[in-house]
């Protein structure tokens, strides 16, 4: 008989948490006023390129290929993978980053926006947060599930770091503290950098 009030209290708590989650899911995403000249669709990302950003140049700057899809635990043979397709390479980078953290997100879908330069990135940061940024080369915004990065800094280490933030933000129900997220995203960056210098 005494368990009934406990179940009612638990029910109200769970209903409150669910309502908070729904409210959070429909929270207004800050407007970045980003203008895309080209859009690409990958399995895990909707990729938008600003005017003047060249896909093949990004592929070269990113510096990964079919061998990295193998490292991510995916088969690289056949027509399903092209080392000149930014969409394919971003899928490989995402899977590789998930493997580094041992956190698989099979139904993940996020956004990646590539701007021309640091001035454009600073302008977007100011429009979203209302303050000047501290010289970041890239950043991830949780509310829009979006990574922003400059074309010049489109390396696997920098993009992988931000992919790490996206993974962590979508893997945990309760967000880890910012310092913990930075350590884990930094761990991805370290592993990707280490792979570049391996003999």
pLDDT tens, position by position, 124-182: 999 888 888 777 899 999 999 999 999 999 999 999 999 999 999 999 989 899 999 99
Distance from C-alpha of 3 to C-alpha of 175, rounded to nearest angstrom: 32
Task: List, in sequence order, every residue forming a beta bridge with 50; answer none if it has no partner.
Answer: 36
Q: How many domains does the chain have?
A: 1
Per the domain annotation, does 53 fall within a domain?
yes
Confidence band for 21, pLDDT divided at 50, 70 and 90: very low
- pLDDT for 75 equals 54
Domain membership of residue 123 (yes or no) is yes
Q: How many CA within 13 A on the CB side of residue 67?
A: 5
| Edge-to-edge order in the sheet of strand 146-150 | 36-41, 45-50, 110-115, 146-150, 138-141
pTM tops 0.85: no
Distance separating alpha carbons of residues 43 and 94, to the nearest angstrom:
10
Q: Report the CATH number that the domain containing residue 144 is assigned in CATH.
A: 3.40.390
Mean pLDDT of 109-128: 94
Residue 19 falls inside a structural domain:
no
Q: Considering the domain boundaries, does residue 52 fall inside one?
A: yes
By mean pLDDT, which of 5-14, 27-36, 80-89, 119-128 is the weakest?
A: 5-14
Other Cβ atoms less than 10 A from the Cβ of 59: the count is 20
| Residue 122 covered by a domain | yes
pLDDT score at 31: 81
45 vs 33, higher pLDDT: 45
| pLDDT digit string, tens, across residues 68-112 | 655 555 554 544 556 668 998 998 899 999 999 999 998 999 999
- Residue 64 in any domain: the answer is yes
User: Would you state the pLDDT for residue 101?
Assistant: 94
Question: Does the residue 8 lie in any domain?
Answer: no
Question: Span 29-47, mean pLDDT?
Answer: 88
**Residue 79 falls inside a structural domain:** yes
Domain span at 79: 32-197
Between these two residues, 199 and 160, which has the higher pLDDT value? 160
Quote the pLDDT of residue 3.
52
Nearest-10 crossing angle of helices 156-171, 178-197:
140
Confidence of residue 119 (pLDDT cuts 50, 70, 90): very high
Whether the predicted pLDDT of 56 surpasses 60: yes
DSSP designation for 110: E
């Amino acid at each position: 008989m005494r368990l009934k009030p406990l179940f009612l209290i638990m029910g109200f708590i769970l209903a409150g948490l669910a309502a908070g989650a729904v409210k959070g899911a429909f929270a207004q995403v800050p407007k970045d006023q980003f203008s895309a000249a080209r859009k690409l669709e990958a399995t895990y990302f909707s990729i938008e390129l600003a005017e003047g950003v060249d896909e093949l140049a990004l592929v070269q700057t990113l510096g990964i290929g079919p061998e990295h899809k193998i490292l991510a635990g995916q088969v690289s043979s056949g027509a399903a993978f092209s080392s000149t397709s930014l969409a394919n390479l971003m899928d490989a980078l995402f899977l590789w980053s998930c493997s580094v953290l041992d956190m698989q997100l099979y139904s993940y879908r996020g956004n990646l926006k590539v701007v021309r330069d640091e001035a454009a990135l600073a302008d977007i940061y100011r429009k979203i947060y209302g303050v000047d940024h501290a010289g970041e080369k890239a950043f991830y915004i949780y509310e829009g599930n979006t990574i922003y990065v400059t074309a010049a800094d489109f390396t696997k280490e920098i993009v992988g770091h931000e992919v790490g933030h996206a993974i962590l933000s979508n893997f945990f129900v309760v967000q880890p503290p910012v310092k913990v997220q930075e350590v884990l995203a930094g761990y991805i960056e370290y592993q990707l950098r280490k792979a570049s210098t391996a003999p």
